[in-house]
Amino acid sequence: MGLLDGLSQFGLGGLEGMDLYEMPAKEKKQQAAEAPVVHVVKEQDFIFDKAYTCPICDHEFKAKTVKVGKAKLVGQDLDLRPKYEAIDMLKYDTILCPRCGYTALSRYFKFVTAPQAQKIKQVISRSFKNTSKNEETYSYEEALDRYRMALANAIVKQAKASEKAYICLKTAWLLRGQGESLDQGDPEYKDKKAKIDADENEFLKNALEGFLAARKTEGYPMCGMDESTVDYLIAVIALRFDDFDVATKLISGILVSGSANARMKEKARNLKEMVMVKIKEKQKA
């Protein structure tokens, strides 16, 4: 029952809902003016359209790029996948020319030899159709398409094993992010997640194969990583697929390395414990 119920019989029904301790309008206005404005952080706050010139066809175009220093790093997976607040930066690490289809990770985009450019023109550009949607942000689906284009280009131009492995690794990370973004209330959640997990494993297996090959034939830094970081990364992926020989060998190398820093050695020690636990579990099974 309201405090003023019954006033309607006096013709004052409009007053029945009045606030007993309502503050004066002037004070209300002042409080409203002083209330802080809450800004909801959105993905588009972190990105902008950056201009590029295609090294294959000289076409000038713009691609979405993350603003340097804007996103806040909040964590890292065991295999070094970075996680940022309010954005998955991995979605924006490919550059695709909308005219000829040349696509690469931002790290490699400018570096193409004449023979590589010729191969891309013959195989990629001849059949390429631009399907960009020009939305404010890249969806996971669009980002994954761009990574697959980057991998196709890398294969066609006969890129180093490390570049192809790095694309596979980042595609796996992107798929992991997509899996984490799924709505668990979706009736098809389990099926979608299983498909994404299977795709992630496939890309990780190819990343492992590529990095192992690159380790035998290429120098450092590799994909911007020093030797101990690459070895640690390989060891983590090897452990995921129960390749204990590779994992233990590389971990041991990091622990006795004179160039590996203290932080990397600590990561290697923790990983060594995980390997031992998993080996024991396998032996009991």
- Mind listing the pLDDT tens digit for each residue in 32-75? 666 566 567 889 899 999 999 999 999 999 999 999 888 999 99
Q: Per residue of the chain (285 residues), give pLDDT as tens.
A: 565 565 565 456 565 665 655 556 666 666 666 656 656 788 989 999 999 999 999 999 999 999 988 899 999 999 999 999 999 999 999 999 999 999 999 999 999 999 999 999 999 999 999 988 888 999 999 999 999 999 999 999 999 999 999 999 999 999 999 999 999 999 999 999 999 999 999 999 999 999 999 999 999 999 999 999 999 999 999 999 999 999 999 999 999 999 999 999 999 999 999 999 999 998 987
E strand or H helix at 63: strand 60-66
Q: What is the DSSP letter of 222?
A: B
What was the pLDDT predicted at 182?
Answer: 97
pTM higher than 0.95, yes or no?
A: no
* 52 contacts 62 by C-beta, under 8 angstroms: yes
Range 103-142 burial, b when 16+ CB lie within 10 A, else e: bbbbebbeebeeebbebbbebbbeebeeeeeeeeebebee
Structure tokens at 151: 């991998």
CA dist list (Å): 266 to 189, 230, 259, 273:
37, 15, 14, 11
CA dist 101 and 93 (Å) reads 16
E strand or H helix at 274: helix 262-284
